[in-house]
Amino acid sequence: MFENLSDKLDRAFKVLKGTGRITEINIAESLKEVRKALLEADVNYKVAKSFTDSVKEKALGQNVLISVSPAQLMVKIVHDELALLMGGSMTEINLKGTPAVILMSGLQGSGKTTLSGKLANFLKNKKGKNVLLAACDVYRPAAIDQLKVLGEQIEVEVYSEVENKNPVQIAKNAIALAKQKDKDVVIIDTAGRLAIDEVMMDEIAAIKNAINPSEILFVVDAMTGQDAVNTAKAFNERLNFDGVVLTKLDGDTRGGAAISIKSVVDKPIKFVGTGEKLDAIDVFHPERMADRILGMGDIVTLVEKAQEQFDEKEAAELQKKIAKNKFDFNDFLAQLQQIKKMGNIKDLMGMIPGVGKAMKDIDVDNSSFKSIEAIIQAMTPKERSDPSVLNGNRKKRIAVGSGRNIQEVNDLIKKFEHMRKMMKMFSGGNAKQMMRNMPRAR
């Protein structure tokens, strides 16, 4: 995500390294590189120029502290300006109304129907809402079936009328049903359209006027860059939408749409799609995104993702097992599966400050766990729960059963035993005992 932009900004800041203070001359050279980086990231030209002008004004007006280098100060100013450019702070989705009605709009192929399912899943699981999905795309073949499949996967009811070709009436009927069933939220999935298609633009405007939605979201593919911004502008002129959702942000190495769109249409980015899974949707935090663009990581989001998979009861049981040195391969496999649920491993590691740049050229993904899982799954229940029984013959059988070699099996068992010892060492009162036994400074 934003890989190219991050690299180019990093090079721009190096112009100031080794200089004792910020001057008109050295900042001009640095900002020239910043502006070039933004333009190459497909950021709107006016936005890029306004951004660098603002950074220059703030940088020249600051006194550089002895403990802070000009390059560090520049990073801080650019970070704050980037966050401001992308909206400043997180903007909540409006869920007022009984029920709240969310109208989804966007281009053909922007991922709007899938995003409708992701949003329904998010509101159900994160906000505790009872959601109804309404299939109002009466043109695209299999659009209704696609929404029904998504609804089944996330266990959310889908309202559709196969014979009715009037999306305005379908939307009104869906809202009426939602009121009868005490639903909290109705998400209206509409047909994808082209900004230049007047008939289709008139239709979605008619849906808006008929249902008076609580929230209108414009869904756009982040990877289309400047085209995404221009399309958002055209849609906003007709719909006056409330917020933007960027899909496919995980594949966007440039970042032009995310950086430009708020400035051009003056509407906040509210959500971002970060993968194919139905839970791959995140609330957009401008300041956290600025952190990630500048290689500072995003530890807050990482912790939040971990907490989503965290079960207090399971954690307490696990703690007891660790304290008694009973942590086994079943527990280890369960922990791996929880980590995988958090998302793509390389993306998660990129949220740790300093790790993103180090991992840039290393190919790490969830398939890295496959060999470990294969070895554990080739074990018998007895071997998983009591690793002490793993003798030479058993290891050979596990190697054959998992399709791995004996060295890999031995390495995993060795690392597992070392990890188990370390966990036991730091559980309960042992950590305090270790601290007491450490030599003290005199």
Indicate the residue among 296, 328, 352 that finishes a domain. Answer: 296
CATH of the domain at 267: 3.40.50.300
pLDDT in tens, 187-235: 999 887 665 678 888 888 899 999 999 999 998 887 776 777 778 888 8
E-only strand ranges, 61-145: 100-106, 131-136
Domain limits for position 284: 100-296
- Quick one: average pLDDT of 254-274? 81
Alpha carbon distance 281, 112 (integer Å): 13
Q: What is the pLDDT of residue 354?
A: 46
Residues 376 and 261 occupy one common structural domain: no
Tell whether 309 is covered by a domain: no
**Per-residue model confidence (pLDDT) at position 369:** 76
pLDDT higher than threshold 90 for residue 380: yes
Predicted TM-score (pTM) of this structure: 0.65
Q: What are phi and psi of 281, to 5 degrees?
A: -140, 130
Q: Is the pLDDT of residue 353 over 70?
A: no
Percent of the chain with pLDDT over 70: 73
Q: What is the per-residue pLDDT for 69?
A: 64
How much is the pLDDT for 165? Answer: 87
Verify that 151 and 56 share a domain, yes or no. Answer: no
Mean per-residue pLDDT, 124-152: 90
Total domain count, the chain: 3
The percentage of residues in the chain with a pLDDT greater than 90, rounded to a whole number, is 26
Of 94, 101, 264, 108, which is closest to residue 201 (Cα–Cα)?
108
Give the C-alpha separation, 115 to 150, whole Å.
10
Taking the C-alpha atoms of residue 350 and residue 357, their distance in angstroms, rounded to an integer, is 8
At which of 52, 85, 118 does a domain end? 85
310 belongs to a structural domain: no
